[in-house]
Structure formats: C-alpha cells, structure tokens
Structure 1
C-alpha cells in the first residue's frame, strides 16, 4: 500500500511524503494513479482550496482519500473548500462594505462561517398587474433599483409544493406607471407550467412575487449582501455588516466553484473524514430561471402534461424535468464508501449518487445547503445510514433531506432528518426500497403537501420486491396541509409497519389520486387517526394500527421503537454545524 500526503503548506514538486507533502489533490491523484489502485491519500489539517473540481475516473479505482488520523483521537480537521476569501473592503458612509471581485459570480456568501442572506424586500410595492412580459405597477420604487438586471423575483407557493425564481430583464418608466420586464424564456415557461384548477378557481403563470432579492436598494437588514454584476468582469460585492463585525477581522468567503468532486466510473474508492464546503450553483441566475415543480425537480421547457386530482381539480406538470445538481457527485461507480464526511455551505444539493452499485454513505453530516442533502437516482444497493441531514433547502425550498428515485434495493436506515422546508425522506418509483428506523423532526417547514416520509409511484411488482417502511419515528410535520407519513400518487407494493407519527397536520392519508394499490398499513402508532382509516379504499389494507390521543400514552407504548430510530452515533459537537447556521 502506497501512502501520499497533501497539506495546504505543501509543494507539488515534493515527493508527497509525510515530511514533504504535496500541495494539491490533483497532484496526489496523479501519484495515486501510478500505483494501480493501491494508495491512500492523507489530507493534513487545514483548508484545501482547489482551483478546479477534483475529477475521478476508472483510472482512480482503489484509492482512499481521508483526513490524516481518520478514526483515531488524532484525526485532523480537513476542509476542501471551493470558496475564495474576500478582502480589500471599502467602507461607505452608510456603513456598507464593498469589494471588487472581478468576474467572480455567486449566489451565496458566508461570514465567519454563517450563511448570509441576500438582501431582499417582501414583494412588489403599489398596485400591480401581471401580463405576458412581466408587471406594471403604479409605484416608482423599482425605478430606484440600482442594478435591475441583477434583481431576482421569488415565487413561493405557485403550487403549494413549489417555489420558483425568475430574474428581471429591465425596468422602465411609462407615464405614471413602472414597467418591469422579466427574463425570458423563464417567464414564458411559467405560463406553460403553472396552470391549475381547484374548487372552481383557475390560475396561470407565476402571479405576483412573494419576495424580491439582490439589489443595493434592499440593503436594510444587517448581515445581508448583494452582488452587483452590472459591469461585466467588474462585479462588486456589497455587504451590510452585523453588529460587531470588522472588515479587518471578519472572514468573508464567496463560493467560486460549482462542483468540488466528480467521480465517474470509479471502483472501490473511499472518502473519509473530509469536510466539503463553499460551492455555488449558477443555473438559477440565467434567463431560464428556476421553475421548480416538486422536490429537486425543475422545468427547462419541453411541454407539460395534466394531472387530474379529482372532479374539477387539476394541475399541469413537466413532461420532463431536470434535477438540482450536487456539489459532490458519484456517477456509475461501484464499491464506493463515503464515511464520516460533512457537506456544508453548498449552493446546490450536497451529495448525489447516480447509477452504479454498492455505494455506502455512513456517518455523514449535511447542513447549510441551498438544495437537498443526499439524492440517489438509479443504481443498485445504495445504503445511506447513520447520517444527519439538517438545515437544507435554504434557497430551494422544495428540496428533500434524502431522496431516492428509480433505484433498486436502496436502504435508508438509522438516519436523522431535521429542520427541512419540505419532505424529510422521499422515495419515488423504484424497486425494493427499505426505509428503516429513521427519525424525522421538524419537516415541512416552508412548503405544503408532503410529509416526514413520502413515497409515490410503483415500488416493485410484488410484496417480495416492494418497499418496506418500518420502525421510523416522524415528529413535528409543521406546515398546514401535510401528512406525516405519506403514500401518494399511485404508490403500490408498499408495506408501512411499526412506525410512530406524532404532531402532524394529518398522520397519513389513504385515499389519493391516482389511487394506492397493494399498500399495507400495519401496526403503526398515531396520535390522530389517518384520513380514510374508517373506510380504506380497495387498494389499502389497514390493520392493527393504534391511535393514542394522549401523548404520554403514545410515548410509553412506543418507547422501544423510539430507542431504535435515528442516529447510531452521538452527535459530535465539533461536527454539528451549530456555530455556522443562520436558520
């Protein structure tokens, strides 16, 4: 076994030994390739700042990347950061800090480890009308926006489960009115995508924004920032400091990379004890915007279809959709282990596994993410266990904590998902998923129509290869119109057994459209009866479930289930991210 060492203070002309380490992961990768898959790369303490993503291929099979001393009391704190520190601040008379950042483009900012918010206002002032190109308002306030081409409108709740974003193309005055022209094709796509009929009411397109972000005129709240890109290649960062912050001492980091690590086709590689941090995702800033539909999916054109939800109720949805990417991705890999790592301060999702087989994610933490935590699409025998996902979906509120789509034999076990804006754990169509002994707390914090655990579509072809949802504890599913444990939209071949659901708007629902088929609810414990329990539809078997209206009785009856749900390991304070979250 060959051992190589990488340190922020190293030199790529050195031999990569413990005494004379390399400076970059790229150089260590090249050295490891020469060993034909028999190498361990040890990362020494500190922040490693790569100039570009680390790309791994089949040629990197067999290599282990780990923090120095991993698994021992001497394990060092190692961060792989795609960020760039911002210095050379100017302080204006209004107290706003400004810095020239060249062509650097980003959507997030981190101040002493805290996620700063983009400056914004609640919505459009004045009386506003909506048209095919944008808006007309009787307020002159938008004429005072300093860089209107950088302004972004946020649309929360176009559908109860969606939150979209669209940029402004320009602002002009027209007599006593102000005309706001929106980016195309995003604004036109919205008229295609968002069409619904519900209880005799119809809607089309975005409607009015719920929030407007990213202009210097909005810098009113301490701890917020704006990126002014009105001069190409001469971008300016503006930041209104919080109390006690000093431009000479405060550490401000802007993400520069969109991807930190991409592995395609690699076999038997491992990453252990590494923090992946400070990356962005720029796609929503383009004229195509971010037309969210559900979960991590968004619309890129290509037409829509209509789902009939009942008599007189329907919504349109994408015929095809894209998914929010992750800043760390593994595609068509096999025998990969990701253990004891942390994914934090990222502008997309944290970790994505696409295709492949035999991937294990164990003992990881994911927090402070604009998108979701862990996503699995396709592939076989992926295991996610003993992993803590919390404070994710901070920019894209539909993002789930853990999502599994189109996979076979995926196991999601003994994880904790907390403080997420929509679903905690999502399982879409696939075969043989096992969702076992997880704990979800404070899910559905922003958007509606979801649950702590959510399944939809076919999960197999028989009881033998169907999905099993067992021994999970689901608490505090928060926004109105939710179902703590939710089998939805034609879910079939699902067994829901021995779970505990408490403090949800509704514990579960048995009648949905399209209907459930071959779904069994057995031996679950609720604090309120599921909707439809007294007359289950033909596709649902409902037996041996118990409802305790008294919380003390529920807790006593389910103490054994609760003791086995959630993380195996104790939360380590040094890795908890509590000091870096501004939620």
Structure 2
C-alpha cells in the first residue's frame, strides 16, 4: 500500500512539473513574441495574460534592465493560482531588474541664468519628483535643505512671512510642509494662488487626525520658482512646460545624464475581495522605484488615532490570500512602500529593503465598517447606552494572519511625518518579526488602536526614532477603543461598571518580546491612551524607558531598561497591570497615579535611592538594588552574570544579540543600534574623586548623587568637600554642583579643569552652581593659579 501511494505521488508530481511554464520579459522584447527566453515579451502585462491560461507553477522571469510601466500591473481573481501552482515574478538568474513607475525624459538643456539650466519638456507630465543619474533632486525650497537640521532638513517661521510671499510672482502649485503644532506628525498644503490682499490661498491640512494647526516655526515651502537658488534644486513651470535645474557639481554634463520622473502611484496591485480573493502570487527580487508622492491624498482618518492615511503604496494588496513580496528593494518610492488594505489573509512581506520612502514602510489597515461603534476623532465618543457591546469585529474585511519579517527599513517619512516602519490598524494577528527599522521621523512600529489584537512584535531592532516629532515612542500604541473616553472620570465609571467592554475590541493579547528599542525624543515603548491587553517581556530599552498610560491588563516582565525607567501615567483601580522581574536603572516616573495595579514588585534597581523612593510609594516591597552585573554592556550584551542578585528576584537571561534582520545581505548594510554608556549604576564605571584647588570633586553620575543634590539629571561636577585652605572657602559647599565655570558648561571634571587653564590671570571667575534645588550664579573674586 505504501509503495502504491509513493508511485501515485510521483506520477502526480511529474504531471504537475509537466505543466510548469516559464515566461520571459525584456525591455528589448516584443509583446508579439512567444515569451520564451529567446523571444521574450516586452511587458509584464503581456506575460500576466499568458500566465492566466497556463496551469501549474508559473515563473515570469524579468531580464536585466529597467522596466518602465505605462500602467499599474493589477492582479485580479482571474490571476489567482492554486496552492501548488503559484505565480512568481522575479529576475532571471542574478540580473539586476528595476521596475519603474516613471519614464525617462529626452531633454535639450540650455543656459538660463547664472548656473541654472533649463529644458523644454514634451508631453503632459506631472513633475512631482526629478531623478538625475538615479539620484533624487529637490524641488526649489525655502529654507534650503540642510541634513544637519532636525526638522525637515531646514524649517523657518518666516517661510510664510508677508515679505517672502510678496516676493513670489506666481506661487500656484507650491507646497507648504509643516509640523503639527504639538509635533504630532505633520501637515501639507498646496498653494492655489494669492487673494486680493496678497495672502496665500491654499488647500490641505488634513494629513493629521488631531487638528491643532501648523507649527509656528517648523515649516518650509517648496516648488516655488523664486526659491531656486542652490545646487540640486529644480522647478517646473507647467504653463511653459519648462524645467529649470541648478546642477550639482557631479551633474554638469547634463547632455549625457539620465533624467527620470515618476508617473504612477502604484506599481503592483492585488485587487480581490473576501468572496473572490487573489491567491498565491509572489513578487520577488525586484527593485521598485519612481512612484508619485501621495501626501495630498493622505485624508482618511484611522479611528481616534492621530493618523490619516492614503490607502495605497508601490505595492497594494486588497482582497489577497497567500501572496508574498520577497527580497524586493523599495528605492525612494514617493508614498507608502507596501499597503495591505481591508481583507487580506496569510500574506507575507519578507527579506525586503525599504529605503527613503515618502511615507510608511509596511501598513496593515482594515475597514472602519468592520469596527463596532467606531469614533474618528480624539474627543468623539459614542454614548454608552448606544455602544454595540458585542465583542470583536462586525465583518472580516481586515488584514489577519499576515507577516512582515526580516525586512530592513530606514529613512522613511521623507515627505510625510505621521508614518511608521510598520503601521497596524483595524487588523488581527499581524506578525512583525526580525525587522530592522531606524532613522524615522516618528514610530518604528505603531499600533493605532486595540482592534483586534493578537499581534506578535518580536526580535525587531528599532532605533533612532521620533527624529522629527515628539511625545511618541520607538514602539507606539494607542488604545482609544470603544470603552475609552478623553474625560478620565467618565471612562473610569464606564470600565468600573462594564469591565468586559475593555477587551471588546482588543479581543486577543498583543505580545512584544525580544525586541531592542531606542527613541530619541520620547519613550522606547509607549503604550498611550488606554492601550490594553498587552504582554511585554524580554525587551531591551536603550534610551527612552517604558510608558503605560491609562489602559488595563498589561503584564511587563523580564525587560531591561537602560539609563531610564518605568513611566506609569494615569492608572485606574483594578487595572490588572503587572510590572515585575525587570531591571531598571532609574527611579520610576509616575504621573497621576492613585492606584498601582495588580503587582509592582520583584524588580531590580540600579541604586538604593530609587528603590527606597518606590517602596515609599507602596510598591516593590520585595525588590532590591545594586550592580546588575551585565556580562559585556559595551557591546550590547546585557545578560547578567550568575552572581547577579537580579536572578534571585526572578529575572531570567535572554539573548541580546538576536535582534533585527537575519539575512546576511541585509545585516551587512544595516546600521548598528547605538549602544549607550551606562550611567547611574552603583559600582559601574564610577569616576574617582579629584583634588582641585582644595576642593574634593567628582562627576555627578549616580542616581543616589542626583537624589542627594536634587539635580534633575546626572550632569555637572559634584563638590564632596572644601579644604580649609581652599580659595573656595565661603564660596562653595559640599553637595554643590558646578554647572559652569567662566560661563562655559562643565558637565565633567575634565571640562572644569580645562576651563581653569584658560586665562589664568582672570581676577573674577563667574560660576553657575546648583544648590538647595535652585540654580544660582556666584563669583570667586580672586585668580586661580
């Protein structure tokens, strides 16, 4: 019987292989050809049509070169494949294949003014971006771009001053980019002209779901002719069809340069539905580039999060099952790279490289109509007597059981600022695993609300985040679900009387484990505004600490929080929150805490003062303090030695070198996460005291020293003692902190000594010190020699 089964299986396999078919597409081919390697098609569309009528596994091989798409490649249910007969589009052999949503321009350049060149553009094009010799150029803008400036690479309050506006003859078609007033993402506007008083007319400002208006300072303008004044800038006059360009030194030979512009928003679309999905189609190994910017179409609000979105990307999946995007390079796409919209099941993004996208990396966003009692703005709330209390979604029109893994993302948000490497909204059981995400303006990974949970966020390396915004996290979430109300007393009563409503949307636990997070201007892990039903363990927080605001049923165990601590904000009675077996290196930072959750205990503190402060607040009665004895923190190894007292409290070692992408090719090009110098740990890297002009001084660097002096952070030179013969007798006292000397900041003893060596004959020395909770200036009326 077994041999008969084996024979039948072999026959079936042979039959299946007999039906397997390869088609070939070449930029030099013809759609009149047969699609063989010797006679390839010219377009992917022609190969797609041929594949529809071919059973079994089909591979469409793209030959090397740039394949310019005149229209988006759309897969419909007609293209669906059986599980053992998938369709794959990939490069032939190791040839480099670029799929472009743009077109090359043939231009005749001539001098215009100074070093600015101009060229007539034939045809009706949207000149949204300009690439010369594969390098993206910048629209004429004010202020000029400077990569060293934090916001937008340059911003200015006078970008919209009446004087500057008056200097623009015809700004129609220009754009205004501005941060949100509270730095929660950004806004964009298109200039539609000037009114009779010379003021700008504009439309837009809908790109953020927390409307507060644009930032007064952080703003810039682009696509205005009069601002064409530096190398690498360009401007296109639509009426004249004239392109003006200020060449970079490397582009002086414009006659021989390759000039390309985008013309499509999307390159590939999977367009099906729950009833008739697109199945088993893969895109593999392609470079995808030249898509239009979509920031003026980012309009749709995502429930009560701060986001609005544009449902699209270089690759758009809607109504797809078991489809994959593998090992593709998304190079300077104008909007989102990959967008999974509404119904999607078992789709996967893996091994990809997403660099300098205009918006987000990979988005999973469901249908608001699948949400029960949805609200769409921060202060909106469906009255309790009108809330649909049935648990879970109303329909299946959302992404579920989908994965993004082993994908490198950086430089995202080149245009839009309310973006993320991975964005999850109105989805269930999304897996984000072994991704490396860095250099982003806002979150690396964002979950917009609890609907419907079940996500696994694991083994990711997320750093250099929140670079162009504020009040956010490397991992960020909101939990503004049905039960949540911006009025805390109202919400408190609702959840006290109806606790089941808390998890009516987040019906499955969301898990964060074995990640490394680093945030520049916020928290490493930020669970905001009612985020509930989380399990968080085995994470390393490098800089910003971990925050839990409002919310319920969060279990935080076995995490390592470096140079920071735990930030509990506004907790409720019977929250069910647990924080235990964690290593923290600062005291807690509670705000609005009247209740301390289910269990806050068995944690390991870096110093005695922090532990005592927590115990006085009623937590951590079984916790302890000391040196955690990390094995090798200088290289990021935060496992603890067998002699560490943290182990006795229940802390368990976990691997701290398994974060981020796993493929060797991606690891080779990925930036390394910043490894912090540890501060404030008793017995670790503590400086010795120094004798200096009769003073006994040292660097202020422990939490105990900070607590004793009242300093807000571990900086400055701590005075331990004053000798009777010191010139500082009567001027300085023990426990003073020297913050500046001769008007120069002195964060370290070495800086103090260096400043003293300059101009030794000064008769009066001005100093700034911190004493008795206040900063004050004092003078030493004698030279130090």
Partners of 2:280 and 2:578 in 1: CA distance:
42
1:52, distance to aligned residue in structure 2 (A): 0.5
1:86, distance to aligned residue in structure 2 (A): 2.8
Q: For residues 278-317 of structure 1, what are the alpha-carbon distances to aligned partners after superposition, in whole Å with 9 as ceiling and x for unaligned?
A: 1103562xxxxx6xxxxxx6468xxx99x8xxxxxxxxx8
Q: Kindly indicate whether residue 220 of structure 2 is the aligned counterpart of residue 211 of structure 1.
A: yes
Q: For residues 334-385 of structure 1, what are the alpha-carbon distances to aligned partners after superposition, in whole Å with 9 as ceiling and x for unaligned?
A: 0112111111221110001122201011101111210111111222110111
1:524 aligns with 559
Question: Relative to structure 1, is the Cα distance of residues 366 and 282 closer, same or farther in structure 2, using a 3 angstrom cutoff?
Answer: closer
Partners of 1:209 and 1:521 in 2: CA distance:
37
Question: Relative to structure 1, is the Cα distance of residues 541 and 58 closer, same or farther in structure 2, using a 3 angstrom cutoff?
Answer: same
2:315 equivalent among 284, 303, 328: 328
Secondary structure of 1:346's aligned partner: coil
2:546 aligns with 508
1:287 aligns with none
1:104 aligns with 125
Partners of 2:669 and 2:47 in 1: CA distance:
26
Question: Relative to structure 1, is the Cα distance of residues 270 and 409 closer, same or farther in structure 2, using a 3 angstrom cutoff?
Answer: same
Question: Relative to structure 1, is the Cα distance of residues 485 and 282 closer, same or farther in structure 2, using a 3 angstrom cutoff?
Answer: closer
**Normalization by structure 2: what TM-score?**
0.61
1:106, distance to aligned residue in structure 2 (A): 3.4
1:87, distance to aligned residue in structure 2 (A): 3.1
Secondary structure of 1:210's aligned partner: strand
**Number of residue pairs matched?**
514
Secondary structure of 2:355's aligned partner: strand
Partners of 1:235 and 1:116 in 2: CA distance:
18
Across the aligned residues of Structure 1 and Structure 2, the Cα RMSD in angstroms comes to: 3.1
Q: Which structure shows the bigger proportion of residues in strand conformation?
A: 1
1:322, distance to aligned residue in structure 2 (A): 4.2
Give the number of the structure whose alpha-carbon radius of gyration is greater. Answer: 2
Q: Is the 8 A contact 2:178 2:214 kept in 1?
A: no
1:14 aligns with 33
Partners of 2:218 and 2:478 in 1: CA distance:
30
1:433 aligns with 455
Q: Is the 8 A contact 1:419 1:442 kept in 2?
A: yes
1:469 aligns with 512
Q: For residues 481-520 of structure 1, what are the alpha-carbon distances to aligned partners after superposition, in whole Å with 9 as ceiling and x for unaligned?
A: x11111112111101111001123xx1222x2xx111111
Secondary structure of 2:120's aligned partner: strand
**Normalization by structure 1: what TM-score?**
0.81
Secondary structure of 2:199's aligned partner: strand
1:117, distance to aligned residue in structure 2 (A): 2.0
Question: Relative to structure 1, is the Cα distance of residues 248 and 452 closer, same or farther in structure 2, using a 3 angstrom cutoff?
Answer: same
Partners of 2:666 and 2:512 in 1: CA distance:
28
2:263 equivalent among 256, 262, 286: 256
Deviates more, 1:9-18 or 1:241-250: 241-250
Question: Relative to structure 1, is the Cα distance of residues 484 and 576 closer, same or farther in structure 2, using a 3 angstrom cutoff?
Answer: closer
Q: For residues 77-108 of structure 1, what are the alpha-carbon distances to aligned partners after superposition, in whole Å with 9 as ceiling and x for unaligned?
A: 11110112233123323222223333211322
Segments of structure 1 that go 5 or more residues without pairing to the other structure are 129-134, 196-203, 285-289, 291-296, 308-316, 578-583
Partners of 1:125 and 1:533 in 2: CA distance:
36
Partners of 1:464 and 1:171 in 2: CA distance:
52
Q: For residues 140-176 of structure 1, what are the alpha-carbon distances to aligned partners after superposition, in whole Å with 9 as ceiling and x for unaligned?
A: x4333243102212211323212111122223675xx
Q: Is the 8 A contact 1:275 1:343 kept in 2?
A: yes
Q: For residues 178-233 of structure 1, what are the alpha-carbon distances to aligned partners after superposition, in whole Å with 9 as ceiling and x for unaligned?
A: x223224x36x7999634xxxxxxxx66757721111121112211222322x1xx
1:427, distance to aligned residue in structure 2 (A): 1.9
Question: Relative to structure 1, is the Cα distance of residues 433 and 282 closer, same or farther in structure 2, using a 3 angstrom cutoff?
Answer: closer
Q: Which structure shows the bigger proportion of residues in helix conformation?
A: 2
- Higher relative contact order, chain-length normalized (CA < 8 Å, sep 6+): 1
1:243, distance to aligned residue in structure 2 (A): 1.1
1:46, distance to aligned residue in structure 2 (A): 0.8
Q: For residues 23-49 of structure 1, what are the alpha-carbon distances to aligned partners after superposition, in whole Å with 9 as ceiling and x for unaligned?
A: 001110110111146422111111101
Q: Kindly indicate whether residue 475 of structure 2 is the aligned counterpart of residue 453 of structure 1.
A: yes
Q: Kindly indicate whether residue 403 of structure 2 is the aligned counterpart of residue 403 of structure 1.
A: no
Partners of 2:503 and 2:125 in 1: CA distance:
47
Secondary structure of 1:332's aligned partner: strand
2:62 equivalent among 43, 57, 76: 43
Q: Is the 8 A contact 2:547 2:569 kept in 1?
A: no
Partners of 2:670 and 2:174 in 1: CA distance:
34
1:368 equivalent among 338, 343, 356: 356
2:284 aligns with 272
Partners of 2:68 and 2:361 in 1: CA distance:
22
Structure 1 residue runs of 4 or more that deviate by more than 4 Å after TM superposition = 123-126, 189-193, 204-209, 458-464, 533-538, 548-554, 572-577
Partners of 1:5 and 1:299 in 2: CA distance:
40
Partners of 1:426 and 1:236 in 2: CA distance:
42
1:228 aligns with 237
Q: Is the 8 A contact 1:398 1:422 kept in 2?
A: yes
Q: Is the 8 A contact 2:289 2:332 kept in 1?
A: yes
